[in-house]
Structure 1
């Protein structure tokens, strides 16, 4: 039988048509202005000399302060402890959902992933409403803390708890993906020699998925390092300062005059994030021998008589962790004022009415967030398609470099990116002569930088699955490169781009970290409004707004899930 030859990928083409050159130049300017300059200027600002001209004076002054030392150690403790909690919960959930015949596994998976879909500030707000002295649910049960006492969530323990739950889905997804690739032969070998399921899990499965556990742990640690919503809502009232909230408090109190100082503090956030990812890479490379993952996926273990009690305990635990805080959030929104006990007599929809139609500021925030999310998702998708085409299909080296650089704004903490955006766009723009600092445009610039990756990665992943012969055939028949892009490749990647665009809309619609440092009067966003309503003591209104946002996010998540399953499988992060 004659060997079947696979088509070779097309050779890289030189750009000969001016239209291509202009398009690539536009992509270069996009990444240069929104990615390279903010992060580059951030480092330059932080590395400046001090007032006395000493070398690295700004860094020395910023790091020498007592408040920085406390915030640094608080960040390490909170990130480390919350990551440990995330690993325990995420790994345990993945093992139960993937390796056993637990009842309702699909529904349990969705409930376990709820914290990933809900913004951090709303998760924190939900737990505040559940655990405080004014908790409507604990009050009905007679379990609420005594009136006048401090909410126990306003503490380091509260920050660790909520961040651990918030990032557990990242570990769950990573471990579930690893378990799905463990071949049946590996598990059956343990069963043949008489090993019980628990022994098979401990001595065969856990070593096989150790790299996946480490990958999830690294993602949880990096996410905890850059988390702002949870430390802001729980740490500021509890006087527990982390690096992200220290940066916010310095900028909020002193304005642009402390840009050099906060840039120096931001260096530490970047360093911690890089260290977490580097440790993961090193451990993965040294984690034993490779495993043959080409065999069929193993069947789940039968729990037998334990199926019902384990199922009940799992369901109760998941409902308490994922659903009860959301019920507390809704209950808080249904009381007319903070401290009023929820009952049929006190039940009120006044907070929802005020949020939806009674506050001009909230209405403006709805409009601002919707417009920002729509524009950011549209522009990022428009940029992602040609950039991925040049980088993946055409294998253009400049495009590949731009593709690599696009990872940076999403990898670094949002607070770091916001500082870089301020440094770049605070001075008047060249030629135009005016500054966009404090305007709608600077928030949009930050969104365009941070969320490009969410559209770029799905499109690039889809292009890698396209037969290279399709591009080669179009080139042979004389189709110009730009026509190949728009008429051949764009229809193929459109569903992936649409799924990525919806992910961007979901992320931008309720974003807080960037907006908290960039907003001004008239440019309020929904994330900022939730934060400030709670900060001002109007918890019922904040809960009502958070409930509306959560409902909108759930609807969008359902749409993304349908698109991802029907048209672009594998591009939605929670589909494993």
Structure 2
């Protein structure tokens, strides 16, 4: 009996050894959240596999060729234009001095506050055939037909490339700006001594050293372009996202939409792989002995004013023009007249959904980050990486993948409720606000975990080790040490998640309950009816709220390099 009794704890002892002393609950939490993120993707593959072979043949013949062509042209155009503008402006404001440089350096990231779909609606109002630009050109040049024009229509794939690049270039700009600010002056000085020109310095030294960060920034811009549905649909570009939307809702083919979504998911995986390849085995750090950064060179005369113009145009086209148009429309229609009961209800709905999703995302993020910190295992690292793929999944694909899991949860809850009360209950999550909150949670959880992980990484493990020596349990380590130290990162993560929830259109459009509008879907609805001006106040609110995290992002991006420069020997 004693032998049997002593043998019973062995499985638990073996498990504890395998977990390297980590709390079992921490490993279970990390793995469970990873499963939550993977569930929509597994469901998506299952729905796609249920489609008949004739359906896939029809999709590949009628839908995919045009969708892949438009999507490929859009991504290639955004990569070229947004990459050129982002890298060029970042190098100019970092390595040179010219009129208006400081103001432009602060304003260049501001287009991130304007969602792509709002910019598309505004540009159609301004540059379409009935807009003021074409009307003025026809009056000035005497044009009478479309054949007289040499430039493409705004409602085209080229117009879509221009619109998205005007909004998404800051992803590349911010990544390049930080890397250019932290590049050592000694490398630049040696190259100048050897007779290298400014253009050669930029091409041979600055760009290769910044390539890892540029790969990240460019991949984020392309993922945002791929996720968009409002701008591409409105501008007549039949991307994969638009094809999923129309196949699902207009044609009533859920399996066909899932098959297109799988193709889109493969492209997302390809973009992530390219980003990883672009920064493989590449690291760059300032010298600990002499962290002196490059000093900008003054551009005089015409060169300086050309630099000012090159940096001012993206700010004008991506931020000043859209926000001026919205402000003019709001003032012209009367602010008080637009703030009626319906608008306030939509505003409260938006704040309620975004607030609930932010609280849930932060709660899951705290549990995920603290649990993975306690369980320092290879398994938890993999699970944490899986939990971080939600942001890369387009909202349309995520909404489609959530259908089956949400219905399964509703069925289980309904069965349990009927067993307990004898009454039937309808759908709880599917077709309700709960479904939208879950979609926001899965999609924006990586933002919370990224911010919280960065904040916790600054905390020395010695603090936690000291707590363990004093007898603190894992729960006490989390509540008394980790969470108090995470408060600054919590505030930053909460702001980023809240604003992204307010701007999210794709998942909200597909999962919202009947007669429920957020500010994003309200703007989309007015634009679809050809009356975008009626939603100008909602669009302006989205843009103004979106300015807060952009300003915070600019400050944090500039703070690190400035601190490094101020503590260098040359700056002391």
Q: Does 1:384 align with 2:377?
A: no
Name the CA distance, whole Å, in 2 between partners of 1:396 and 1:221. 33
Name the CA distance, whole Å, in 1 between partners of 2:377 and 2:285. 34
Q: Are the structure 2 counterparts of residues 524 and 86 from structure 1 closer, same or farther at C-alpha, using a change threshold of 3 Å? A: same
Q: Are the structure 2 counterparts of residues 274 and 145 from structure 1 closer, same or farther at C-alpha, using a change threshold of 3 Å? A: farther
Shift of 1:520: 3.0
SS in 2 for 1:432: helix
Counterpart position of 2:178 = 177
Shift of 1:137: 7.6
Return the match for 2:262 from 258, 267, 276: 267
Q: Does 1:365 align with 2:346?
A: yes
Instruction: Give the 5 Å matches for 1:213-224.
Output: 213-224=214-225
Counterpart position of 1:5 = none
Shift of 1:285: 3.4
Counterpart position of 1:277 = 272
Counterpart position of 2:35 = 32
Q: Contact 1:83/1:224 (CA < 8 Å) preserved in 2?
A: no
Q: Does 1:430 align with 2:430?
A: no
Higher RCO structure, 1 or 2 (CA under 8 Å, sep 6+): 2
Name the CA distance, whole Å, in 2 between partners of 1:108 and 1:388. 37
Cα root mean square deviation, aligned: 3.1
Return the match for 1:457 from 447, 450, 470: 450
Counterpart position of 1:209 = 210
Counterpart position of 2:386 = 405
Return the match for 2:103 from 104, 107, 124: 107
Counterpart position of 2:321 = 324
Name the CA distance, whole Å, in 2 between partners of 1:555 and 1:180. 23
Instruction: Give the 5 Å matches for 1:9-408.
Output: 14-15=21-22, 21=25, 25=28, 28-33=31-36, 35-48=37-50, 50=52, 57=53, 60-61=56-57, 63-135=59-131, 152-235=153-236, 240-255=237-252, 258-285=253-280, 293-294=286-287, 295-306=291-302, 308-314=304-310, 316-322=312-318, 323-334=320-331, 347-349=332-334, 352-357=335-340, 360=342, 362-408=343-389
Q: Are the structure 2 counterparts of residues 283 and 460 from structure 1 closer, same or farther at C-alpha, using a change threshold of 3 Å? A: closer
Name the CA distance, whole Å, in 2 between partners of 1:559 and 1:99. 23
Name the CA distance, whole Å, in 2 between partners of 1:510 and 1:37. 24
Q: Contact 2:110/2:315 (CA < 8 Å) preserved in 1?
A: no
SS in 2 for 1:430: helix
Shift of 1:173: 1.6
Structure (1/2) with the larger helix percentage: 2
Name the CA distance, whole Å, in 1 between partners of 2:80 and 2:501. 28
Name the CA distance, whole Å, in 1 between partners of 2:244 and 2:183. 43
Q: Does 1:514 align with 2:473?
A: no
Q: Contact 1:251/1:517 (CA < 8 Å) preserved in 2?
A: no
Structure 1, 517-526 or 451-460: larger mean CA deviation: 517-526
Name the CA distance, whole Å, in 2 between partners of 1:470 and 1:281. 33
Name the CA distance, whole Å, in 1 between partners of 2:385 and 2:315. 40
Shift of 1:26: 5.2
Q: Does 1:466 align with 2:459?
A: yes
Shift of 1:314: 3.5
Q: Contact 1:137/1:331 (CA < 8 Å) preserved in 2?
A: no
Shift of 1:304: 3.1
Count, aligned residues: 523
Q: Contact 2:362/2:493 (CA < 8 Å) preserved in 1?
A: yes
Q: Deviations over 1:421-441 (max 9, x none)?
A: 123213533143443221111
Q: Contact 1:499/1:560 (CA < 8 Å) preserved in 2?
A: no
Any stretches of 5+ residues in structure 2 without a counterpart? Answer: 1-17, 416-425, 562-572
Name the CA distance, whole Å, in 1 between partners of 2:399 and 2:345. 22
TM-score relative to the length of structure 2 = 0.83
Return the match for 2:532 from 539, 553, 573: 539
Q: Does 1:505 align with 2:486?
A: no
Name the CA distance, whole Å, in 1 between partners of 2:307 and 2:500. 33
Name the CA distance, whole Å, in 2 between partners of 1:354 and 1:226. 34
